Structure 1
Amino acid sequence: MRAVSGALLVAGTTSDAGKSVVTAGLCRWLARQGVKVAPFKAQNMSLNSMVTADGAEIGRAQYTQALAAGVEPRAIMNPVLLKPGSDRRSQVVVLGRPVAEVDALQYGAHKERLRGVVAESLAELRAGYDVVICEGAGSPAEINLRAGDIVNMGLARAADLPVIVVGDIDRGGVFASLYGTVALLDPADQALIAGFVINKFRGAVELLEPGLDRLAGLTGRPTLGVLPWRMGLYLDSEDTLALDAPRADAGAPYGRQVLRVAVVRFPRISNFTDLDALNCEPGVVVRYAASAGDLAEADLVVLPGTRATVADLAWLRERGMAGEIVRRAAEGRPVLGVCGGFQMLARSIDDEVESGAGAVEGLGLLPARVVFQGEKTLGRPRGRAYGEPVAAYEIHHGIVDVEGGEPFLDGCRVGAVWGTTWHGALENDGFRRAFLADVARRAGRDFTPAPDVSFAALREATLDALGDLVEEHLDTGAILRLIEEGAPAGLPVVPPGG
């Protein structure tokens, strides 16, 4: 491919429309053409995050997009990360470090400073890479938020970025949502909307053609491709909408050769990407649980990370799930706590930082005490467990003081209850197999982990598949022209209501 330089913004009609997937696919496709490409998301609201090699916290999706691009993930690829702790308050992470806890109204006071951080980060990326593929957030047509926008059309206008809009046809109403997205924008914003991509289509594309022609006639903008539905292409997700997506094992019957995992779906569940490696194991069925009954048949119950440890522990008790977990432990049935889930398993929690609740009684299943500190721990630790090497990452305010039990990574184990603050441990193939074999033995199952599953190889295969979808189903020539030349001049204004 000839030398290419420029940038593009991938927007979407809704959250979970496919922006992250299209961005990752474009990054992988361009990287395979020899283009030095980087992802960028100016502002991300997500409880799934990752730690870069230099100790900065960024959105998990941007971390994976950097892997798709074949470049080292950096804080400037996601300069602003919002981590909700309740319906109204979020932690603000800037260039990988937490700077404030604010509500929605207070956040507005930070916008001008953050606008500068975003502009400088994008400029640095554009100076260091041939192409930058930017991802929007939610919808660019959130007209109530347009004045302070720094991630959708506000960014596109500031940096003169051409924009493509992704719509998820699986939700229904894709033509109305694509048309309505353009029509709700003011003329200056509309001038940067250069085309559409339809995502998750099932069936014959020919059936769409009358609608595509009509959409082009109404908006003056082409559809640059239709991406087909592919089961199993699970990119690291940004929010819990992904937990509602259909899985290949949905409704699968249980047998003795199947290992059943129930993951507690906390209201503020975070880093549930920890469980993606289990989903990749043949014979492991992962389901999310919101009631005590959902835990009854599980061979392993996982308490995952959470942005609100004390509040979600109260939720666990209100639902009767805490009692069920304690009963399981007494019966020797396996329970794993990760980060916030580990903190809940401790004897006590002292939290004057995250919830302000002070001293709270934990579930008491592990000999540990937790004290929350203002400084957030961010790291990429390494260790061993079950005789296998483990590389992981940690993101937490709660410091766990282990007072007994058998060592397990940085935490401990008592009987069939394990706890660790390390995220990503299950992505280590040897450790995952050894841990699952131990769980199966304790649960009395005949399950044997597959000896040849490589989570890293499966992730690479997924990223390659996304690159293939871009190459095979998008008008890559038109996309390259947009990257290099920007949005075409003279695009028509679409009035609301047509």
Structure 2
Amino acid sequence: MSGAGRTAPALLVAGTTSDAGKSVVTAGLCRWLARQGVKVAPFKAQNMSLNSVVAPDGSEIGRAQAMQAAAAGVEPCAAMNPVLLKPGGDRSSQVVVRGRPIGEADALSYRGYKERLREVALESLAELRAGYDAVVCEGAGSPAEINLRDGDIANMGLARAADLPVLLVGDIDRGGVFAAMHGTLALLEPADQALIAGFVVNKFRGARELLEPGLDMLRDLTGRPVLGVLPWLDGLWLDVEDSLALSVDRGPAAPPVTGTALRVAVVRTPRISNFTDIDALTVEPGVDVRFATAPHELDGADLVILPGSRATVADLAWMRGRGLDAAVADRARRGRPVLGICGGFQMLARTITDEVESGAGTVPGLGLLPTAVRFAEEKTLARPRGTAYGEDVRAYEIHHGQVETDWSDAGAPEPFLDGCRRAAVWGTTWHGAFENDGFRRAFLTDVATAAGSAFRPAPGTDFAAARAARLDALGDLVAEHMDTGAVLRLMEQGAPAGLPVVPPGGPVRR
């Protein structure tokens, strides 16, 4: 698309709401463009997510942007998500800039970062546009969050600064999609409206002919076309951005092959992070994954997983308040398998000393592993490799907590990845380990044996292939259900001149 010395074309995918489908449409466009031989990069100026990954350049970025890069067939890097906010509570977030944490901020103090972060975002986008043929940008939340418009760097603030045409995505499955699209446009000031070039209806089920009159009316009301109606398809997206996108179930488990299911309960804490670790389990035939927030929901589980956490001490206190700590400890005493990953591994320790994340000092852990945790000021970001069960494992690490194991403990702990195992309790700081097929099958076999289950993993399950197939399905959605010619013209030429302003289009004059 772009030639030597030319700034690559780009567009912004915005949404009427969070979880409207921005990530999916962005990934689909990246996949479709890559199939056309276009060297394309994803970009999200500012992301708020507890699901992150360590890119090959050593930076921490949003997991969704890493998977959009996979859809594009390119390596993820810091420029693709220059600002990442990782909530640690209801009012504060860790601010990660170009892959490195620079501090904590609440909603008010974050304003002081805005001008610097705006410059970082624009520089990162310019870097991508200089190195790729095209860039597909994803917005954050909704551009109609008018109380945040002045400092916006992710939606119309970015579009205005970089002169990006904007596609507005709406989720019809929620209902009210026409009102959401028209209302979003109408709440924007005229200069912002001038960049909204078209709409995409997402998650449509039903007869297209019944929808057509509404699409025509929306075009007549706004002067903008609907450039795509994407049908509802189950199980398309792994790597979601935050726990708001989680249902009670992560999704339908793969159908049993052996006739015996392995039941996995994942404790869903308020600040759960990197729960994408379980995605590879959900595609394993015969593994039934469910989330749990109460002790009785652990009953009958063959394996309980304590996943990552952005606030280990606070989430452990939440577990104690619900009796989940006692339920997990009782399982361990009875030899029922428990796995802790990163923050969950830290919870299994005897003591947790935290003057960094919570400032709580030293608090007792669950005491299920002979370990002690001390939080360090500097965050560990790494892409380790190792072996377990005779299988190669590639993973990534993102944590402040440093775990020390007492290898002389009478309970005879054994090494497990970078952590340890004692009896039927395992712990590791490594994220993404289950994506290694051989390791995953070996671990699940060990768990089934310890749990007394007849389950055995089916040979040949390939998580990378399953993920690639889902990304291909997103590319197919774009190819089959979007006006790709119109999208390419927008990227090359920008938003058409003279798009009408939809009232009110600005503040009410009194």
Deviation track 1:373-432 (CA, whole Å, cap 9, x = no partner) reads 000000000000011000000000000001121000000000100000000000000000
Q: Is the 8 A contact 1:10 1:22 kept in 2?
A: yes
Corresponding residue for residue 427 of structure 1: 435
Corresponding residue for residue 483 of structure 1: 491
Deviation track 1:424-469 (CA, whole Å, cap 9, x = no partner) reads 0000000000000111111111111111111111111111111111
Q: Is the 8 A contact 1:231 1:247 kept in 2?
A: no
- The alignment status of 1:96 with 2:104, answered yes or no, reads no
- The alignment status of 1:330 with 2:338, answered yes or no, reads no
Q: Secondary structure at the match of 2:147?
A: coil
- The alignment status of 1:459 with 2:478, answered yes or no, reads no
Corresponding residue for residue 63 of structure 2: 60
Corresponding residue for residue 396 of structure 1: 399
- Kindly state the Cα deviation for residue 312 of structure 1 after the two structures are TM-superposed: 0.2
Provide the C-alpha distance between the structure 2 equivalents of 1:366 and 1:408, rounded to a whole number of angstroms: 12
- The RMSD of aligned alpha carbons is 1.8
Corresponding residue for residue 86 of structure 1: 89
Instruction: Work out the percentage of aligned pairs sharing the same amino acid.
Output: 74
- Kindly state the Cα deviation for residue 207 of structure 1 after the two structures are TM-superposed: 1.1
Corresponding residue for residue 48 of structure 1: 51
Among 360, 366, 379, the residue aligned to 1:363: 366
Q: What TM-score do the two structures reach when normalised by structure 1?
A: 0.98
- Kindly state the Cα deviation for residue 282 of structure 1 after the two structures are TM-superposed: 1.0
Q: What TM-score do the two structures reach when normalised by structure 2?
A: 0.95
After superposition, the Cα gap between the structure-2 partners of 1:310 and 1:193, relative to the gap in structure 1 and judged at 3 Å, is same
Q: Is the 8 A contact 2:228 2:481 kept in 1?
A: yes
Provide the C-alpha distance between the structure 2 equivalents of 1:225 and 1:256, rounded to a whole number of angstroms: 41
Among 196, 203, 207, the residue aligned to 1:204: 207
Provide the C-alpha distance between the structure 1 equivalents of 2:255 and 2:185, rounded to a whole number of angstroms: 42
Corresponding residue for residue 190 of structure 1: 193
Corresponding residue for residue 269 of structure 1: 272
| Aligned pairs (5 A) from 1:98-177 | 98-177=101-180
Corresponding residue for residue 473 of structure 1: 481
Corresponding residue for residue 410 of structure 2: none
- Kindly state the Cα deviation for residue 296 of structure 1 after the two structures are TM-superposed: 1.1
Corresponding residue for residue 314 of structure 1: 317
Provide the C-alpha distance between the structure 1 equivalents of 2:149 and 2:39, rounded to a whole number of angstroms: 32
Q: Is the 8 A contact 2:258 2:455 kept in 1?
A: no
Q: Is the 8 A contact 2:23 2:138 kept in 1?
A: yes
Among 455, 460, 465, the residue aligned to 1:447: 455
Q: Secondary structure at the match of 2:475?
A: helix
For this pair of structures, how many residues does the alignment match?
498
Question: Which amino acid in structure 2 is aligned with residue 448 of structure 1?
Answer: R
Provide the C-alpha distance between the structure 2 equivalents of 1:442 and 1:53, rounded to a whole number of angstroms: 36
Q: Secondary structure at the match of 2:393?
A: strand
Question: Which amino acid in structure 2 is aligned with residue 349 of structure 1?
Answer: I
Provide the C-alpha distance between the structure 2 equivalents of 1:438 and 1:183, rounded to a whole number of angstroms: 58
Provide the C-alpha distance between the structure 2 equivalents of 1:203 and 1:84, rounded to a whole number of angstroms: 38
Provide the C-alpha distance between the structure 1 equivalents of 2:95 and 2:76, rounded to a whole number of angstroms: 19
Q: Secondary structure at the match of 2:179?
A: helix
Provide the C-alpha distance between the structure 1 equivalents of 2:213 and 2:156, rounded to a whole number of angstroms: 29
After superposition, the Cα gap between the structure-2 partners of 1:386 and 1:254, relative to the gap in structure 1 and judged at 3 Å, is closer
Q: Is the 8 A contact 1:21 1:235 kept in 2?
A: no
Corresponding residue for residue 216 of structure 2: 213
| Aligned pairs (5 A) from 1:372-383 | 372-383=375-386
Deviation track 1:102-130 (CA, whole Å, cap 9, x = no partner) reads 11100000000111111111111101111
Provide the C-alpha distance between the structure 2 equivalents of 1:251 and 1:448, rounded to a whole number of angstroms: 14
Corresponding residue for residue 236 of structure 1: 239
Q: Which moved more, 1:249-258 or 1:378-387?
A: 249-258
Provide the C-alpha distance between the structure 2 equivalents of 1:308 and 1:426, rounded to a whole number of angstroms: 23
Q: Which moved more, 1:451-460 or 1:244-253?
A: 244-253
Structure 1 portions without partners, runs of 5+: none
Deviation track 1:456-487 (CA, whole Å, cap 9, x = no partner) reads 11111111111111000000000000000000
Q: Secondary structure at the match of 2:159?
A: helix
Provide the C-alpha distance between the structure 1 equivalents of 2:434 and 2:54, rounded to a whole number of angstroms: 16
Question: Which amino acid in structure 2 is aligned with residue 487 of structure 1?
Answer: A
After superposition, the Cα gap between the structure-2 partners of 1:488 and 1:212, relative to the gap in structure 1 and judged at 3 Å, is same
Provide the C-alpha distance between the structure 1 equivalents of 2:254 and 2:320, rounded to a whole number of angstroms: 28
Question: Which amino acid in structure 1 is aligned with residue 298 of structure 2?
Answer: L
Provide the C-alpha distance between the structure 2 equivalents of 1:486 and 1:388, rounded to a whole number of angstroms: 50
- Kindly state the Cα deviation for residue 250 of structure 1 after the two structures are TM-superposed: 7.6
Corresponding residue for residue 437 of structure 1: 445
Provide the C-alpha distance between the structure 1 equivalents of 2:165 and 2:198, rounded to a whole number of angstroms: 9
Q: Is the 8 A contact 2:307 2:340 kept in 1?
A: yes
Among 14, 19, 26, the residue aligned to 1:16: 19
Provide the C-alpha distance between the structure 2 equivalents of 1:220 and 1:55, rounded to a whole number of angstroms: 45
Structure 2 portions without partners, runs of 5+: 408-412
Provide the C-alpha distance between the structure 2 equivalents of 1:428 and 1:42, rounded to a whole number of angstroms: 30
Among 396, 413, 417, the residue aligned to 2:421: 413
Q: Secondary structure at the match of 1:332?
A: coil
After superposition, the Cα gap between the structure-2 partners of 1:231 and 1:247, relative to the gap in structure 1 and judged at 3 Å, is farther
Among 76, 79, 104, the residue aligned to 2:79: 76
- Kindly state the Cα deviation for residue 248 of structure 1 after the two structures are TM-superposed: 5.2
Q: Is the 8 A contact 1:256 1:446 kept in 2?
A: no
Deviation track 1:182-222 (CA, whole Å, cap 9, x = no partner) reads 01000000000000001111111111101101111111100
- The alignment status of 1:26 with 2:29, answered yes or no, reads yes
Among 383, 387, 390, the residue aligned to 1:384: 387
Q: Is the 8 A contact 2:435 2:463 kept in 1?
A: yes
Question: Which amino acid in structure 1 is aligned with residue 17 of structure 2?
Answer: T
Provide the C-alpha distance between the structure 1 equivalents of 2:462 and 2:173, rounded to a whole number of angstroms: 30
- Kindly state the Cα deviation for residue 235 of structure 1 after the two structures are TM-superposed: 3.2
Question: Which amino acid in structure 2 is aligned with residue 482 of structure 1?
Answer: L
Among 341, 344, 347, the residue aligned to 2:344: 341
Q: Secondary structure at the match of 1:145?
A: helix
- Kindly state the Cα deviation for residue 234 of structure 1 after the two structures are TM-superposed: 1.9
- Kindly state the Cα deviation for residue 345 of structure 1 after the two structures are TM-superposed: 0.1
- The alignment status of 1:297 with 2:300, answered yes or no, reads yes
Q: Secondary structure at the match of 2:221?
A: helix
Q: Is the 8 A contact 1:92 1:99 kept in 2?
A: yes
Question: Which amino acid in structure 1 is aligned with residue 444 of structure 2?
Answer: L
Question: Which amino acid in structure 2 is aligned with residue 64 of structure 1?
Answer: M
Q: Secondary structure at the match of 2:146?
A: coil
Q: Secondary structure at the match of 1:285?
A: strand
Q: Is the 8 A contact 2:262 2:302 kept in 1?
A: yes
Which 4+ runs in 1 deviate beyond 3 A?
Answer: 1-5, 245-248, 250-256
- Kindly state the Cα deviation for residue 249 of structure 1 after the two structures are TM-superposed: 2.8
After superposition, the Cα gap between the structure-2 partners of 1:474 and 1:376, relative to the gap in structure 1 and judged at 3 Å, is same
Q: Is the 8 A contact 1:265 1:289 kept in 2?
A: yes
Provide the C-alpha distance between the structure 2 equivalents of 1:347 and 1:256, rounded to a whole number of angstroms: 39
